[in-house]
Structure 1
Amino acid sequence: MTLVVALVLLVGLGFGSRFLPMPYLVAGPGVTLDTVGRTEKGPVIEIDGAESYEHEGSLSMVTVQYAGGPQRRLDFFTVVRAWLSPTEAVMPEELLFPAGRSPEEVSERQATQMNDSQTDATAAALNEIGMGYDAVPVVADVVEDMPAEGLVEPGDVILAVDGEEVGTRSEGEPGTAVGSAAVVERVGEREPGDPVSLTLDRGGEEVEVELVAAEGEQGRAAVGVLIADEMDFPIEVDITVGDIGGPSAGMMFALGIIDRLSEEGLTGGASVAGSGTIDSAGRVGGVSGIPQKMVSAQRDGAEYFLVAADSCSQVAQSAAYGELEVVRVETLSDAVEALETIRTGEGELPRCE
């Protein structure tokens, strides 16, 4: 009788857990999209105002597909199955859906990040090939209880930091920060407590503001302004990716733009995928989901995978580890040089240590 009762309870618990909602997400391999390829709507990257080219090979962005969330909770068995899967990962849903934010707000934020990444990718690509553009840093907001409060106003255009111009360039210089990236870089070079001078354009009038830097994120100096760049590019770049959101395709967008603008292709016909954010100065940042993205890339025929140096720690966790040539990059210039090595077969590729 004891065994029968225990068995009934076990079956009941198992059956009940089938319908028990779990506050977790399952991350799995998602879609890949060749940034220098075409969709049914036309080229993924379309350029107007300059000659563009098409080449053999591919430069694919990769995605992670998420299941679960506040509006479609997963059951216990699905979570356990994913936890045991070599190609999937289980994570708390708060990582994608922070408390206090609706799914709609999360989607809107990801769409904004995607748009910003395309703008930064265009700036970085033009910078890399020496095509000039203007980047005007405009104050979007001022952080409460920070040094800039009461002295800097939304709408102010930042012209210079400590007398050094940040806004406009006449020709591109690879790796050089301009606009908001230059402001952040130059303020961040100081120590908390150091004086910082900002030259502002406020409604056509030039204003000098003297501040004392405070301690910001990761202990770096900050003055408490949120900046949005107004970019003026000499060409128009249109990138079509559908409903994909987030900033992690920035590096591959930049490489795709360079490939489109180059008479000689970057890859030499090789199939290359990768993932990493990018800023207008060409710095490549780490992203999450690398193990799943590597599986996506390998599944869809990639031979090489470009990964930000900050993401190297994730590489060995992938089921595709050992199946792809993984290349470590820190800047867009690094990525271009790695592609030259792939194209020519000369030199060594940088690896994750």
Structure 2
Amino acid sequence: MVRRVMTLVVALVLLIGLGVGSRFLPMPYLVAGPGLTLDTVGENEGEPVIRIGGAESYEHEGSLSMVTVQYAGGPQHRLDFFTVVSAWLSPNEAVMPEELLFPAGRTQEEVSEQQAVQMNDSQTNATAAALGEMGIGYEAVPVVGDTVEGLPAHGVAEPGDIVVAVDGVTVPTSFPQEDEEAAGSTAVVEMVGAHEPGDTVELTLERDGERLDVEMEVAENDGGPAVGIMLADDMDFPVDVEITVGDIGGPSAGMMFALGIMDRLSQESLTGGADIAGSGTIDPAGTVGGVSGIQQKMVSAQRAGAEYFFVAAESCSQTTESAASGEIEVVRIETLTDAVEALETIRTGEGSLPRC
């Protein structure tokens, strides 16, 4: 009997010790929870989130809110066992391996810098998409960002070179083009892509104010023709768009930025007074891309009082897993045009909304 009691006591002590020890055991996981909701046509710390210069700007009722995910944990701030388990049991939070956000060999500072770059790019892309959707022209000049080692352009083209022409044909740089033809870097890719591997292509480059013609043999890369030039568009807009969101990073607010810019430039409200939230990347052509964390972002939107949640079609599968599913209307979006048409449906009450 004494031996049995002693065994139970020892087991209990070990169990308590394990519980106490695990309380301080750092876990290599992140916890994602509902984050900040910020109205792109409203204010942030007393200043407009979107400020327009060089054109008339308007204010309307309603909201077009971007939503974020708040992350806890990371290599420098490891979570304990009980925090991770508690989050795993919560309907509003998600647990994920920290390498999804912090790949091996990268510091939190490097990740933050990358997210800042993505945020800046998303704002530029949103401006281009919004102006394009409204039929407002702008210039997009294709500039060499880098070249791929082992492909023909490496050592020939240099970062900062402007691609002026392909095979003597001037690269169009004005948006929008008639018949929706490509311009800028997209046009360069299409013009080079019209060749077969083994063909010779001539590029006219502008470097330090001087033009030079270079010929190279088209190679095959990833199953298609390529010369190994990584391009970015240097965009010149007829209006100045300044977007201020503080320390928020990443590309997922692109769609809502584009809608916010359009609302600021439109005499009539896009929302008709409705409160809209959403998440999705955007490219200059207006294509909306999927993002992660939709479950938590929907909860953020619901808590902020949004009536509708616009989500990229690629992210639709995440919506049913959210604790806010059924509490907020989810609208499937593939392009900026889809979003504008959905807003018209909400504003007028005519037609039906695309659902996930």
State the shift of 1:317 in Å.
Answer: 1.2
The amino acid that maps onto 2:220 is A
1:262 and 1:162, CA in 2 relative to 1: closer, same or farther beyond 3 A?
farther
Is 1:34 the counterpart of 2:39? The answer is yes
Is 1:215 the counterpart of 2:221? The answer is yes
Counterpart in 1 of 2:72? 67
Is 1:225 the counterpart of 2:226? The answer is no
Counterpart Cα distance in 2 of 1:78 and 1:53: 46
The amino acid that maps onto 1:281 is A
Counterpart Cα distance in 1 of 2:275 and 2:195: 43
Contact 1:128 1:172 in 2 (8 A): no
Is 1:101 the counterpart of 2:106? The answer is yes
The amino acid that maps onto 2:304 is D
Counterpart in 2 of 1:238? 242
Counterpart Cα distance in 2 of 1:194 and 1:303: 55
Instruction: Please give the per-residue CA displacement for 1:135-158, whole angstroms capped at 9, x wherever unaligned.
Output: 111111112123322332222112
Match of 1:319 among 313, 320, 323: 323
Contact 1:176 1:281 in 2 (8 A): no
1:332 and 1:182, CA in 2 relative to 1: closer, same or farther beyond 3 A?
farther
Contact 1:118 1:253 in 2 (8 A): yes
Counterpart in 2 of 1:44? 49
Counterpart in 1 of 2:144? 139
Match of 1:17 among 17, 22, 27: 22
Greater CA drift, 134-143 or 181-190? 181-190
State the shift of 1:215 in Å.
Answer: 2.8
Structure with greater Cα Rg: 2
1:195 and 1:300, CA in 2 relative to 1: closer, same or farther beyond 3 A?
farther
State the shift of 1:36 in Å.
Answer: 0.4
1:170 and 1:321, CA in 2 relative to 1: closer, same or farther beyond 3 A?
closer
Q: Secondary structure at the match of 2:116?
A: helix
Counterpart Cα distance in 2 of 1:64 and 1:245: 11
Q: Secondary structure at the match of 2:8?
A: helix
Q: Secondary structure at the match of 1:292?
A: helix
Contact 2:218 2:225 in 1 (8 A): no
Is 1:337 the counterpart of 2:341? The answer is yes
Contact 1:127 1:172 in 2 (8 A): no
Q: Secondary structure at the match of 2:33?
A: strand
Match of 2:127 among 106, 122, 131: 122
RMSD value, Cα: 2.3
Counterpart Cα distance in 2 of 1:38 and 1:257: 14
Contact 2:132 2:175 in 1 (8 A): no
1:10 and 1:170, CA in 2 relative to 1: closer, same or farther beyond 3 A?
closer
Is 1:350 the counterpart of 2:348? The answer is no
Counterpart Cα distance in 1 of 2:17 and 2:23: 10
1:181 and 1:335, CA in 2 relative to 1: closer, same or farther beyond 3 A?
farther
Counterpart Cα distance in 1 of 2:265 and 2:22: 55
Counterpart in 2 of 1:300? 304
State the shift of 1:38 in Å.
Answer: 1.5
The amino acid that maps onto 1:225 is I
The amino acid that maps onto 2:133 is E
Contact 2:163 2:171 in 1 (8 A): yes
State the shift of 1:193 in Å.
Answer: 7.1
State the shift of 1:71 in Å.
Answer: 0.8
Normalising by structure 2, we get a TM-score of 0.91
Contact 1:49 1:236 in 2 (8 A): yes
Greater CA drift, 198-207 or 55-64? 198-207
State the shift of 1:275 in Å.
Answer: 0.5
In the comparison of the two structures, how many residue pairs are matched?
Answer: 350
1:196 and 1:328, CA in 2 relative to 1: closer, same or farther beyond 3 A?
farther
Identical columns (%): 75
Is 1:279 the counterpart of 2:289? The answer is no
Counterpart Cα distance in 2 of 1:13 and 1:324: 43
Match of 1:90 among 95, 99, 103: 95
Q: Secondary structure at the match of 1:105?
A: helix
Normalising by structure 1, we get a TM-score of 0.92
Match of 2:62 among 57, 60, 69: 57
Counterpart Cα distance in 2 of 1:138 and 1:298: 42
Match of 2:156 among 142, 148, 151: 151
State the shift of 1:348 in Å.
Answer: 1.3
Contact 1:128 1:173 in 2 (8 A): no
Is 1:178 the counterpart of 2:183? The answer is yes
Contact 1:128 1:174 in 2 (8 A): no
Q: Secondary structure at the match of 1:33?
A: strand
1:317 and 1:11, CA in 2 relative to 1: closer, same or farther beyond 3 A?
same
Q: Secondary structure at the match of 1:67?
A: strand
Q: Secondary structure at the match of 1:79?
A: helix
Greater CA drift, 273-282 or 188-197? 188-197
Contact 2:202 2:213 in 1 (8 A): no
Counterpart Cα distance in 2 of 1:309 and 1:187: 31
Instruction: Please give the per-residue CA displacement for 1:161-212, whole angstroms capped at 9, x wherever unaligned.
Output: 5666545116567976533344456667888777765443234214243442
